Amino acid sequence: MINSSKKRYRFRMLIPLFPAINIYSYSAKRTTALGPICVASIINRMDRWDAEVIDENNLDKYGPRGDSGGVDNELLQNIRPADIIGLYGGLTSTIPRLYELARFYKSKGVITIAGGQHFSNGDIPEALVSGVDYVVIGEGEETIKELILALEGKGDISEVKGVAYLDNGNVIFTQKREPITDFDKLPLPDFSLVRYAKIINYPVERIRGCGMDCEFCTVKGKPRDASPERLLERISSLAETRGARKFFIVDDLFGQHREDTIRFCKMIKKYQESTGKRLVFGVQIRLDKAKDTELLSAMREANVLSVAIGFESPIEEELKAMNKRLKPDEMVSLAKVFHKFGFVTHGMFIFAYPLQEGVSFFMPPEERIKRFRRFISKAKLDTIQILLPVPLPGTELRNRLERQNRLYSLKDIGWEYYDGNFPLFEPDKPLTAEEMQLSAWKIMTRFYQFKYMFMLGLKIFLFPSIIFFLHNIKIGWERWNRSWRNYMIRFVGWSYLKKWTIEFEKSPFNQKLKKAKSHLKTA
C-alpha cells in the first residue's frame, strides 16, 4: 500500500532501453511509444497524483544517464522520488531491462507495475518473481486507475479487473477486463508528461486491434475505432500546443474502416487549408489497399506521405505459411501503384519464415537472397527492414515451433534477442541458423551502403539541372527530394548497421547459439 500521509504522489512511467543498437535506434530518438503516455495521462488527472514518462531510448542532453546508457534512476529517485513505477513491456526484447529496473525500484520500497503487449501473452509468473509487484493484462487506461485507487486503500485489489499479482507465493489472476470500445471518454494523450525527450514524429491512433489473425502477430481481435473527429482533435491539439508537424498513425492497418478513413483524410485536408499548417503523416497499411484508388487519392490530399507495408516475403511458399493470400508478382504490381501515387514506401519483410508441418520446400540461402533483392528492386521500395521470424509469447508461431521442438530455450537465448536480428529457432533445411542471420544481414547491407554519402553530394550538385530539364519546379522538386531523402536514409542506415555489427562481434551470442543448438539436439 501507498503511504497515505503524503500530500501528493508521483507515478513514473519508464520505457526500457533497447538491448542493442539497431537500424531502428535512429527513429527511436525522434519519437516515443504512445501507450505509456495514454496511461500516464489518466493518472495525472487523479487527485493528488503527478505523472511523468521517461523513454530511455529518447534522452536528450539534459537527461541524466546511467552507466547502462539508460536513465540514471538512482539520481532520479533522489531528486524526484516516485511512489509507483510503471514499466512498459511493449517490446519483448526490452524485458530483461524492464526486470532490471523493477528490481532496482523494488529494492527502494517503490511499488512496481508492468504492462504492455508482452504481458498480454507472456510469462506473467516470470515477471512477478523478477521485481514486478503487479502486472496489468491488456489495455491499461481503466485498469491502472482502479489499481492505484486500491493501492491507496480505496478498493480491493482482487476486484480490479485485468491484474495479476502474488499472494503467499501463488499467482492470482483477477477477472478479465474487456477491451475498451468507447475511446472518446479517455483524455487526450498529454505529451508534456514526457521528460528529457525530443519528439519530432508524434504517434497518434484511431483504431486498436486487427482482424488479420497472422500466426506470428500478437495483435488480435476485432478492430475498435474512435471517431475521425477524435483523431483530428488529437492532431490539431498537438499541432497548436506543441508545434507538431510530423505524425505517425500507429493503427495496425490504416484504412480498416474505409469510409471513416476517407472522411478523416478530407477533414485533415480541410484543417490544413484553413489553418495554413502543413502536416505530414506516415501510416501502416495493407498492400491490397493499392486497389482502392479513391482511398489513395484521399490519403495523398491529406499529406499522407509515407506508407509502411508488410510484404513479409517474396517467396510464395513462405507466404502460404503465413496465411498470406497474395502472390509475389501481384505484390510487385500493387507496390508500384503506391510508388505511382507518390508514397514513400517502406517494405517490411520476414526472412526464412518457418514452414508448416508437412510442407516440402528447399531453397539455398543464395537463391533466397536473390529473390529478395530482385523483389525489392522491382517493387521500387524506398526503404526496407529485413527481420528474422520472432516467435513472440502467446503466438501460434511460438506454439508451433515448440511442438516441432525447434525453439531455442530461453535459458540459452533470452528475451533480449527477440528483436528480429537473431535466430531463435532451428530454420528449415538447408538453412542453418547462422546462414539465416547472415543472409538477412547481406540483404540489408546491400540496400544501405556507404556509397550513398557520395550520391547525396552528386544529387545536390545536379539539382539545378534536374529542375531545368523537367521544366516543372513542383515535379522536379518532388522527384529530387524523394531520391535525396532515400540516399540520406540509406547512408544513415549503413552507419547504424555498422555500429550494430561492431556490437554484435563483441557479444556472446555465437557461443549462446552453439549451446542452444546442442541442448535442442539432446532434448
Give me the DSSP letters along 288-326: GGGG-HHHHHHHHHTTEEEEEEEEE-S-HHHHHHTT---
Dist CA 303 CA 305 (whole Å): 6
Q: Assign a CATH topology to domain 9-173.
A: Rossmann fold (3.40.50)
Q: What is the pLDDT of residue 217?
A: 87
In which region does residue 415 sit, left (phi positive, over 0), alpha (psi from -120 to 50) or beta (all else)? alpha
Angle between helices 293-301 and 328-340 (to 10 degrees): 40
Q: Is residue 469 predicted with pLDDT exceeding 80?
A: no
Residues 397 and 354: beta-carbon distance below 8 Å = yes
pLDDT in the model for residue 58: 95
Model confidence at 484: pLDDT above 60: yes
Q: How far is CA 399 from CA 201, 216, 269, 336, in A?
A: 36, 10, 45, 36
The pLDDT of residue 238 is 98
Q: Is the pLDDT of residue 22 over 90?
A: no
Given pLDDT bands bounded at 50, 70 and 90, which one contains residue 422? very high
Give the rounded distance of the alpha carbon of 33 from its chain centre. Answer: 8
- Where do the domains of the chain lie? 9-173, 200-447, 449-523
Number of helices followed by number of strands (H, E) in the chain? 18, 16
Torsion over CA: 288, 255, 235, 189 (sign): negative
pLDDT, position 485: 86
The residue among 65 and 484 whose pLDDT is bigger is 65
The pLDDT value given to residue 175: 97
User: What is the rounded (10 degree) CA torsion for 310, 312, 313, 314?
Assistant: -10
Cα atoms in the Cβ-side hemisphere of radius 13 Å centred on 248: 18
Say yes or no to pLDDT of 214 above 90.
no
Q: Burial level of 160, CB count in 10 A (0-12/13-18/19+)?
A: buried
Mean pLDDT value across residues 356-377:
90
Over 90: is that where the pLDDT of 477 sits?
no
Query: Would you state the pLDDT for residue 219?
Result: 85
Q: Based on the number of CB atoms within 10 Å of its own CB, is 118 exposed (0-12), middle (13-18) or buried (19 or more)?
A: buried
Least confident range of 180-194, 270-284, 314-328, 405-419: 314-328
Quote the mean pLDDT of the chain. Answer: 92
Calpha distance 507→107 (Å, rounded)? 29
Mapping DSSP to helix (H, G, I), strand (E, B) and coil, where does residue 116 land? coil
Query: Which residues, 6 or more positions from 432, have their beta carbon under 8 angstroms from its beta carbon?
Result: none
Cβ–Cβ under 8 Å, residues 63 and 196 = yes
Starting at the earlier edge strand, list the strands of the sheet with 304-312: 201-204, 246-249, 280-284, 304-312, 344-350, 383-387
Rounded Cα–Cα distance for residues 343 and 161 (Å): 43
**Of 111-115, 363-367, 368-372, 501-505, which gets the smallest average pLDDT?**
501-505
Q: pLDDT digit string (tens) for 296-338?
A: 999 999 999 999 999 999 998 888 877 777 889 999 999 999 9
According to DSSP, residue 269 is labeled H
What's the pLDDT at 464? 58
User: Domain 200-447 has what CATH class?
Assistant: alpha beta
Q: What is the pLDDT of residue 467?
A: 53
Beta-strand runs (E) in 125-211: 134-136, 163-167, 170-173, 194-195, 201-204, 207-208
- Cell numbers at residue 325, please? 493470400
- Distance, in Å, from the CA atom of 3 to the CA atom of 433, rounded to the nearest integer, reads 52
pLDDT digits (tens, 9 = 90+) for 87-137: 999 999 999 999 999 999 999 999 999 999 999 877 899 999 999 999 999
Q: Which of 324-338, 346-360, 476-490 has the lowest mean pLDDT?
A: 476-490
For the packed helices 34-44 and 141-151, what is the interaxial angle rounded to 10 degrees?
A: 40
Among 122-126, 262-266, 353-357, 457-461, the minimum mean pLDDT is found in 457-461
Does the pTM surpass 0.85? The reply is yes
pLDDT at 264: 97
**CA dihedral for 375, 380, 384, 390, sign (positive or negative):** negative
Q: What is the pLDDT of residues 182-200, one digit of tens each?
A: 998 999 999 999 999 999 9
Q: Over pLDDT 70: what percentage of the chain?
A: 96
Percent of the chain with pLDDT over 90: 74
Our measurement of the distance from residue 436's CA atom to the centroid of its chain's CA atoms, rounded to an integer in Å, reads: 23
Q: Is pLDDT of 443 > 70? A: yes
pLDDT at 472: 54
